[in-house]
Structure 1
Amino acid sequence: MNILVIAVDTLRWDHLAHNRAKPVKTPNLDRFAERATLFERCIVNSFPTVPHRMDCFTGRVCFPNWDWEQLPKQLPTLTETLRDAGYFTAVVADTTNFISANITRGAHEIHRTLLPPADMPDPKTMPFPVPPEHIRQRGAQRQKHAAEQAHFRRESDWWVAKTMTRAAEWLQDNAKRDKWFLWVDTFEVHELWHTPQYYVDKYDPGYTGLDYDFPNYGYTDIYSETELRHLWAHYAAEVTLTDRWIGHLLDQVDVMGLWDDTMLVVTSDHGMYIGEHNRTGKHTVLGEADPWPLYEEVTHVPMMVWAPGLGAEGKRIAALAQPADLAPTILDAARVAAPPMDGRSWLPLIAGERKRNWDVVYSAKHWGPNARLTICPTWVTATTEQWTAILAQEKHEAELYDIQADPGQRNNLAQRYPDIEPELRKDFARFMRSQGAAEEYIARYE
């Protein structure tokens, strides 16, 4: 069994066309969805980018103890475990921050495709398309990305194109190996939302206003309705561009006939608010002055799994899933013994041998006494099959939503059903204690 994982940064579940929630064109992911098993309720554990990948590579729910930081040496990685079992392991990525955090420890090869040119312009010289105060942290991150991409002329220059092309080449170079694992990771859907203009025109043709292509990581009162739609059009354009180049890699799998002996997973780390809940961005940038809730637009991520031989083409599974389940699922499919992990394999769910793995999934950014990334604290979200709760804490009242009747999470039912959120908060404290979290961290919820 060979294994190929495609991870896409900031890809919202409801922006894949086969989920029919948003009018976005994703023909290649749609055709993969026809083959794969779709986990319809995959909910993020650790947030954001690097902590999420810690969960994926270790099978642990990391946010109770670890922040955006170097992967602790005591946590064995998926790449180490597979390497020790005889797999050849590799990473192809234009997402570099998780590589720098040593999350890919154990990989035989790491191919970085984000390589800014030597003559990259000074970010400070890049023009602002909108007032800088309308961009996250006055545009510093946007200008850096704009400078990195200033040389783009053809679609093949974009990072996702380079990453998927390099991954397709890697398959050609390594397909004859006895067994291999390849993690392909693209940052492309993450802002700056910069694509060839013809992709934007698919979603907002004829727009003539301010060209918003980077969210303010704040509230939506700065935007007009047409400006907010144009911001969304840039995001939708990124999704369609990324889908096109994922299609290039899927075509390589087709041409080489790899489906019969290759497990293939497509997933993402989190979503993004683009007007929902009066916000744009995925988290606050004001630290403890304004922690943000993690609603479904951020926590609900795609998880599509093809595992040959299970006869589950196009199957949809409504049971809760979480990123920490990915590593034990891969090791189960590879018939490799797993080190201690929090996650549980999905193979019994896919085979119909089990109805559910979890009654509740918790989502949060680490906010304990050892927090390192302090600009983006979040409230804790508890997700069950029926409910999502934003857990009460000092300075924040409980929120409770019936996710089946109210998927947009607009009608807070915490007062109508006063027993549900407190019970979930008690369970969260038990979970945190079982993970060895700091008592002063846990005390906020008791």
Structure 2
Amino acid sequence: MNLICVMMDTLRTDHVGAYKDGNAKARSPNMDRFAEQSLLFENAYVGSFPTLPCRRDLFTGRWGHPFNTWDRMERDLPTIAETFRKAGYTTGLVYDTPMFMTEGNNLDRGFGSIEWIRGQGGEPWIADDLIDIPLPAAEHKVKAPGLRRYLTNQSRRRWESDYLVARTMTEAVHWLERNYTRDHFILWVDSWDPHEPWDPPQHYVDQYDPGYEGDKILYPCYGFSDFMSDAELNHVKALYAAEVTMVDRWLGYLLDTVDVLGLNEDTMVVLMSDHGHYFGDHGLQGKPWGDFGQLYEEMTHQPLIIRHPDCKRPGKSTSAMVQPCDLFPTVVELAGLKAPQGIQGTSYADVITGSNDSHRDLVISGRNLNDNWGTVPATISDGTWSLIYWPNKDLAYKHKPPRQETYPCTGMSERREHELFYLPDDPGQQNNVLDANLDEAKRLHQALLDLIAETDVDPDIAVTYKSVPGQE
């Protein structure tokens, strides 16, 4: 069996037609077509959040939250690429997600070939004092330093084929054309799009907000969303939807190539994301931290669609609850390989092959640890109840508490509050029912304590999670 994994960073489920019966907020015809041939996971959820910690979960099959910070992947842990490579697989990585290399994070470890598509985010690539890079919006509305560098990196772009997702998917196609005749291979394609900045060609933007005039907030600040007017926020949503549609187009090019090369009969293809993004949801914008760090459904619910030659339910969906650390043991089992010791995730191969339709009883999502933030929230959900839990809420910040990025915030009430939501009646998580349902909150909190007990959490960190919601 061959394996192709395609990561699309920051893709929300409500922008994929297959998740919304064709009523999504973006057009995604290629993802929808792929879902008709695959098994769609309705309850895939973030484990460690955000980008870098999620990749660690995926590559090591181990939990990162709540004890692993935004840091390099440990060299002593076996990885998915190393495991397949030792078994004789050709292993390839094609990516533009900048922190794979720019921060020395060892995420490329184990891959036999590596193609880095340069220029994403604010990574240091092009320096050109001969061009002027004006910001497309008022400076206080955008992440100005990173946006300027990104726009400089993209200053030589002329055609849609020059855009980063196009370059990334095209390079993945080239890799397949050079390696599809191998006995076995694994190809990991990591696209940072549709992560911001959002600057797709205008013909995509016009599908969602034609005729807009005003600030183009390509890289909005994180925090409250009310620094934007209604028209500006609507255009930000349009830019994101347009970016998703552009990503879908170039993903289609890759998927068509898999078909043309005759790989469908012996290749497992995984489409996924690492987390969502707030667009005014709960009054928030982006992936804010500190007091704004709650992980609601819009952030934790992940797209996950898997096509496998032995899947007995193509075009169907499953309600099985799965998390990123489960992928490593799953693909190892399906490939008939032996999983290395130390993996903490559990295989859902039986869900893919159709002999089971359940996996986890609940899912746990959490932010990467950072002392500057004082405390980091976790979300525990069983699909019916969802608890947002703040460990040691009174833990003092070591530095000035982060509020928002470049715009003022005054009169803000305490936000580090435990919240419990009953999802069947409140899918938007607007009504905190903690006080009336303390037993449910205690049950979910105990599941978090159980995870901490089962993993190698430092005792000084573990103790901060002991406080029971509603009993402080």
TM-score, normalising length: structure 1: 0.93
Give the AA of the match of 1:324.
C
Deviations 1:348-379 (A, max 9, x none): 12233334221121111222xxx47x469641
Residue 218 of structure 1 pairs with residue 216 of structure 2: no
**218-227 or 117-126, which deviates more:** 117-126
What is the SS of the residue equivalent to 1:252? helix
1:127 paired with 2:139, answer no
Q: Given the alignment, which residue of 191, 197, 200 partners 1:192?
A: 197
- Tell me, yes or no, if the aligned pair for 1:291 and 1:379 is still in contact at 8 Å: no
Partner of 2:410: none
- Of 403, 408, 412, which aligns to 2:428? 408
TM-superposition CA deviations, 1:60-109 (whole Å, max 9, x none) = 11123321211112210000000111111010111131344112211110
Q: Distance in 2 between matches of 1:355 and 1:251?
A: 29
Aligned-partner Cα distance in 1 for 2:209–2:96: 28
Structure 2 partner of 1:250: 255
Aligned to 1:361, which of 346, 360, 363? 363
Amino acid at match of 2:116: R
* Worse overlay, 257-266 or 310-319: 310-319
Post-superposition Cα deviations, 1:379-421, rounded to whole Å, max 9, x if no partner, equal 1111212121101442532211122332211111112212111
Name structure 1 gaps, 5 residues minimum: none
Structure 1 segment 130-145 matched on structure 2, within 5 A: 130-136=137-143, 139-145=144-150
Bigger drift between 292-301 and 206-215 goes to 206-215
Gap regions ≥5 residues in structure 2 = 395-415, 467-472
The residue aligned with 1:106 is 110
Task: Identify which of 175, 199, 203 aligns with 1:170.
Answer: 175
CA contact (8 A) 1:392 1:399 kept: no
- Structure 1: how far apart are the matches of 2:136 and 2:219? 10
Q: Secondary structure at the match of 1:363?
A: strand
Closer/same/farther in 2, CA of residues 130 and 82 from structure 1, 3 Å limit: same
Does the 8 Å contact 1:164/1:245 carry over to 2?
yes
Find runs of 4+ consecutive structure 1 residues off by over 6 angstroms. none
Root-mean-square deviation over aligned CA pairs: 2.0
1: CA distance, partners of 2:373 / 2:460: 20
| Amino acid aligned to 1:404 | P
Secondary structure, aligned partner of 1:221: coil
Q: Residue 59 of structure 2 contacts residue 328 of structure 2 at CA under 8 Å; is this kept in 1? A: yes
Per the alignment, residue 233 of structure 1 pairs with 238
Q: Which residue matches 1:77?
A: 79
Check 1:210–1:106 CA distance in 2 against 1; reply closer, same or farther (3 A cut): same
* SS state at 2:193 partner: coil
Amino acid at match of 1:216: C
Name the stretch that deviates more: 345-354 or 1-10. 345-354
Cα offset, 1:443, TM superposition: 2.0
Q: Is the 8 A contact 2:375 2:390 kept in 1?
A: no
For the residue of structure 2 that corresponds to 1:222, the secondary structure is: coil
Give the stretch that moved more between structures: 395-404 or 74-83.
Answer: 395-404
**2: CA distance, partners of 1:115 / 1:22:** 30
* Number of residue pairs the alignment of both structures matches: 436
Partner residue of 1:440?
460
Amino acid at match of 1:236: A
Q: Does 1:202 align with 2:200?
A: no
- Relative to structure 1, the CA distance from residue 238 to residue 378 in structure 2 (aligned partners, 3 Å threshold; closer, same or farther) is farther
Which stretch shows the higher mean deviation, 309-318 or 37-46? Answer: 309-318
Map 1:17-28; keep pairs closer than 5 Å.
17-20=17-20, 22-28=24-30
In the alignment, which of 280, 286, 289 is matched to residue 285 of structure 2? 280
TM-superposed deviation, 1:332: 1.1
| Bigger shift: residues 94-103 or 146-155 | 94-103
For residues 38-76 of structure 1, give each alpha carbon's deviation from its aligned partner in whole angstroms, at most 9, with x where no partner exists: 111100001111110010111111123321211112210
1:36-75 alignment runs, 5 A limit: 36-75=38-77
Partner residue, 2:3:
3
In the alignment, the residues of structure 1 paired with residue 287 and residue 155 of structure 2 have an alpha-carbon distance, to the nearest angstrom, of 25
Retained in 1: the 8 A contact 2:311–2:354? no
